[in-house]
Homo-oligomer: A and B are copies of this chain.
């Protein structure tokens, strides 16, 4: 590999001058600058990033930790992050926590050891203690949480208003005439699962519909969403034959539920109205197509990187930054699984 030294020797000048010429410093003569650049190009010189990192104390690399890669929403977020990062000359290291707290913690350590310039993270469902995150933040390493966040942690965040979105979805079911509305919520722990549930509950209360906890179904295992949807739907039919609407935490679970209903000959939306959450692209494609809350993954990824970038730049100038919380808009996409 070609080094500055070799270019310097080739031209009979010093390494310092070569370095400066390559960086377009103004205190190098035009002649030298041109000569150096030509030689560098001819020898196919590429700066040794290891050395650059060591000197500048930056890696121009960020890390991202998500619970699950094989997931339409998360991969959209990643795409948003990677595309934006590339524009700014940053590379992205990807890690998957597998919804495990221990792994998440270990991976955070890994990224710190690698001395990434910043970290983007969406929490694992199993994460209930946030000391590992706080620890990173207290070291002044820029960190932005997205989607699955911890409200109690003080840092920048990019989210949607899950509560409001769930409220709107439930209100919509009420508006089209549903009287008995069930809710399939996700696992207990993650904040957005909680918020969607709270939105559902609030909408009922505001419309003078008594909240009935037996209408709320939990699905524990998030990597078997489709199956869980079927299971919950089956149970629902046993428990409450007269339910006429369901607000479901995630599209894939909703699709599972719809599949079961169709198998059982129950008509959607005539007998049961269904609203999902996430606007997974399959949801527009299945039959009947699914009414759902659109969750802007790509946009979220872009925004999260932008905030992180600002924090990294501010830190570089040794200034302090304020934490920012961005709430992205969601939209209820009305399709054929509800009776409109």
* Interface membership of A152, Cβ < 8 A: no
Total residues of chain A contacting the partner, CB 8 A: 44
Closest-CB distance, A287 to chain B (whole angstroms): 7
Closest-CB distance, A86 to chain B (whole angstroms): 7
Interfacial chain B residues near A78, Cβ < 8 Å? 69, 94
A220-269 residues at the B interface, CB under 8 angstroms? 226, 255-256, 259, 262
B46 touches A50 (CB 8 A): no
A69 touches B75 (CB 8 A): yes
- Chain A residues engaging chain B, CB cutoff 8 angstroms: 46-51, 53-54, 57, 59, 61, 69-72, 75-76, 78-79, 82-83, 86, 91-96, 107, 110, 112-115, 226, 255-256, 259, 262, 281-282, 285-287
| Protomer copies | 2
Could you list 23 examples of A-B contacts with CB < 8 Å?
Answer: A46-B113, A47-B113, A48-B54, A48-B115, A49-B114, A50-B50, A50-B53, A50-B54, A50-B57, A50-B59, A53-B53, A69-B75, A69-B79, A70-B79, A75-B75, A83-B96, A86-B95, A86-B107, A91-B95, A91-B114, A92-B94, A256-B285, A282-B282
Q: A242–B75 Cα gap in the complex (Å)?
A: 40
